[in-house]
Amino acid sequence: MLLSSCSLFGDDLTQAKKLVSEKKYAEAIKILDGFKSISAKKYNSEVNVLYAVEILKNLNKPKSERYIPAKEILERALSLDPQNSKARTFYVMMVKQINSLKLDKIKPPQEPEETKETVTKRKKRD
């Protein structure tokens, strides 16, 4: 029984690696989630990073639809392997990008500059 279960895990890992090579990251991650070993979690973390990068490359979607899911996937990658430097680097980049997008949307309206005409009219009224 033990030998057959090891064989099944080997088959699952082979299938996951095949899916990664085909850039079917979400499917590969579903398989890898079943593995509990440290090396499997590290590989799963790497696949999550690849998946996040693939989402970011899809320029057909607006930034908000790419950045937020990518950030969430990178958070997951870091939870699987906190030492994953690529995941950490991309995560920090995503947080900065998301924050800058929010700041751009919430910019306070700028007051119009006073022209000579408006200053003259205001002085005449006063």
Q: Which two tokens stand for residue 8?
A: 């099944």
Q: Which two tokens stand for residue 65?
A: 């639809």
Q: Is residue 56 part of a domain?
A: yes
Count: domains in the chain:
1
Cβ–Cβ < 8 Å for 40, 46: no
Say if 41 falls within a structural domain. yes
Q: What is the pLDDT of residue 113?
A: 56
With respect to residue 53, please indicate whether it lies within any of the assigned structural domains. yes
Tell me whether residue 126 is in a domain: no
Residue at 111 is within a domain: no
**Per residue in 3-39, pLDDT tens?**
334 444 578 889 999 999 999 999 999 999 999 999 9
Q: Is residue 61 part of a domain?
A: yes
